[in-house]
């Protein structure tokens, strides 16, 4: 049961990173059948909860490796595209963005290395299309696959930030809270609440010390594949809702 939670948590990271076109969360990939061909995320109308439009779509090869990711605007026009290349010792992610001329042009390339013992992302280097290094990131994990620390370096300004994480688990091994620290100062906290103790439904409350709280509820099927995602404001009023649809080989 614990693994389902980790898949859900990875989607929390994925959602926040998709919007800026960066690589996926370095935690754990969401669970998918090895025959998954595509994963499509749709926004839902808040009155009828019917599908409104496509938000993003991921495509996988027959080995289960992601090969492309497309991000869409409200009119289902592609605004960002990420292609994944596995032909070198690194995974190379090329980000394309929509230009003023209405064309998708390459803007960034990220080289990702993995910890082969854990299968998780160990480090990444992002460069612009001219080869200038923009940023570097490294990650460390605990025994459950959640972050112990993450290090970010802005290669243009020389600024760097290290975030340390303290995760707390219940007797069943489920993550119930995670604190974030910068220079030993608490900067954020995430709380995880399970519906009737069922990991198929978890609500994540993310609070930043500097201000701001986000509340997201995820539901999955029994295989750990995310089916729905609902965003609430601090008063638990629904502000966004999404549905995930899968196709298979």
CB of 230 closer than 8 Å to CB of 238: yes
Is 187 within 8 Å of 209 (Cβ atoms)? yes
Give, in order, the Cα–Cα distances in Å from 212 to each of 189, 206, 207: 11, 8, 6
Model pTM score: 0.82
Question: Residue 248: what pLDDT?
Answer: 92
What is the structure's pLDDT at 225? 86
pLDDT tens per residue, range 9-49: 443 333 333 333 344 443 333 455 668 899 999 999 999 99
Whether the predicted pLDDT of 8 surpasses 80 = no
Q: Is the pLDDT of residue 164 over 60?
A: yes
Task: Please list, in sequence order, all residues whose beta carbon lies within 8 angstroms of the beta carbon of residue 211, skipping any fewer than 6 positions away.
Answer: none
Q: Does 2 score more than 80 pLDDT?
A: no
What does the block give as tokens for 233? 């404001």
Q: Going from the N-terminus, what domains does the chain have, and what CATH number goes with each?
A: 2-248 (2.40.160)
**Averaged confidence pLDDT in the chain:** 86
Query: Can you give the pLDDT at residue 23?
Result: 40
* Residue 86: pLDDT band with limits 50, 70, 90: very high
Angle (CA) 12 13 16, round 5°: 90
Q: 10 or 211, which is more confident?
A: 211
CA dist list (Å): 48 to 76, 117, 154, 223, 241: 20, 46, 44, 27, 11
What are the pLDDT digits (tens) for 188-203? 999 999 887 777 899 9
Exposed, middle or buried, 148 (CB in 10 Å: 0-12/13-18/19+)? middle
Mean pLDDT of 155-163: 96
The per-residue pLDDT for 31 is: 53
């Amino acid at each position: 049961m614990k693994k389902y939670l980790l898949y859900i948590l990875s989607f929390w990271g994925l959602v926040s990173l998709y919007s800026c076109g960066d690589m996926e969360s370095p935690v754990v990939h969401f669970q998918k059948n090895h025959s998954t061909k595509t994963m499509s995320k749709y926004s839902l109308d808040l009155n009828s909860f019917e599908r409104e439009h496509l938000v993003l779509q991921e495509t996988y090869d027959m080995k289960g490796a992601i090969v492309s990711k497309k991000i869409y605007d409200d009119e289902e026009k592609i605004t960002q595209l990420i292609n994944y290349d596995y032909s070198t010792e690194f995974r190379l992610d090329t980000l394309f963005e929509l230009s003023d001329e209405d064309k998708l042009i390459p803007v960034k390339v990220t080289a990702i290395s993995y910890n082969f013992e854990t299968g998780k992302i160990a480090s990444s280097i992002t460069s612009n299309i001219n080869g200038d290094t923009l940023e570097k990131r490294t990650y460390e994990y605990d025994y459950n696959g959640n972050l112990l620390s993450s290090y970010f370096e802005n290669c243009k300004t020389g600024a760097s930030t290290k975030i340390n994480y303290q995760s707390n688990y219940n007797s069943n091994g489920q993550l119930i809270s995670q604190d974030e620290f910068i220079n030993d100062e608490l900067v954020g906290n995430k709380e995880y609440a399970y519906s009737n103790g069922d990991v198929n439904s978890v609500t994540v409350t993310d609070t930043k010390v500097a201000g701001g709280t986000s509340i997201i509820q995820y539901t999955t099927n029994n295989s750990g594949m995310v089916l729905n995602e609902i965003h609430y404001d601090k008063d638990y009023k629904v502000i966004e809702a999404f549905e995930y649809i899968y196709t298979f080989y």
